[in-house]
Amino acid sequence: MPGLAILLALFPHIPGVSAGLGWTAQHNAVVSVSWNLVMFGTGLFVSRFLRLLHPRKVWIAGLVVMTVGYTLVGFFHADEVELMLTSCVADIGSGIVVATAPVHVVGVVSRDEQGLGSGMLNMLISLFGAIVTAGAYALLTAHSTVVDGTAFYQDAGYAWVFWLGALVTLLALALSLFIPRLRDPELDDVPSG
C-alpha cells in the first residue's frame, strides 16, 4: 500500500483527468517520513514488550488497527494532513504486525524448523505482495482516464486501492484464527551435546 501511495502523491492533479496530488519526489519523501517513523517506532516499542503480552492478542490488535487505518486512508487522502494522519493509523497497525510476525513463526515451529518457517514467512509476504499489487493496478486501471496512451488514475481508483488493503488485512485477521497455539521457545528441551 505505501508503494502505491507514491502514485497518488506523484501523479499530477488534472481536474477530470488525474486525481494525483502532484507532489515532487522530495515533498513526498518529507511527508511520508511521518508514517514511516510511526511504523518503525511502533515496531520497536511493541517488540520490547512482547514477552509481557499475549502475542496473538497483540497481532490481532495490530491487524484491527491496520484495517481501520487503510479504510480511513481510502476515505481521507486529499492532502498532506489527511494522508499523514490516516497513514499513521495504518502504520501503527503495520508496526505491530511486523513486530509480532516473527514471534508467531518461532512460536509454532520447532527449533529445527525456524529457518524454514522464517523463509516461508518472507516468501508468502512477497507472494501476497505481488498478488495484491496486481489487484491494486486492476482497480486503478478500472478507474482511469487514458490520454495519449498514458493512464491517469481517478480518485475512486486510489480509494479502492486502500480499501483493498483493508480487505486483505481483514482476510489476514480471519486466517489468524487458524494460527496454532504458540509455545514458548525457551521451554523447549535443549539438546545436550
pLDDT digits (tens, 9 = 90+) for 127-183: 988 999 999 999 999 999 999 999 999 999 999 999 999 999 999 999 988 887 776
Does the residue 193 lie in any domain?
Answer: no
- Mean pLDDT value across the chain: 89
Q: In what helix (H) or strand (E) does residue 151 lie, and over which residues does it extend?
A: strand 150-153
**CATH number of the domain to which 75 belongs:** 1.20.1250.20
Q: pTM for this one? A: 0.87
Q: Considering only CA atoms, which of 145, 130, 174, 129 is closest in space to residue 12?
A: 145
pLDDT at residue 185 in the model: 55
pLDDT at residue 60 in the model: 94
Does the residue 192 lie in any domain?
Answer: no
Q: Considering only CA atoms, which of 187, 185, 182, 51 is closest in space to residue 108?
A: 182
The C-alpha atoms of residue 2 and residue 69 are separated, in whole angstroms, by 12
In percent, the amount of the chain with pLDDT more than 90 equals 67
Does the residue 12 lie in any domain?
Answer: yes
Across the range 60-77, mean pLDDT stands at: 96
In percent, the amount of the chain with pLDDT more than 70 equals 94
Contact between 104 and 113 under an 8 Å Cβ cutoff? The reply is no
Does the residue 33 lie in any domain?
Answer: yes
Domain range for 77:
2-178
Does the residue 49 lie in any domain?
Answer: yes
Task: State the cell numbers at 91.
Answer: 502504520
Q: How many domains does the chain have?
A: 1
The C-alpha atoms of residue 33 and residue 21 are separated, in whole angstroms, by 17
pLDDT tens for residues 109-139? 888 888 888 888 889 889 988 999 999 999 9
Residue 87 has pLDDT above 50, yes or no: yes
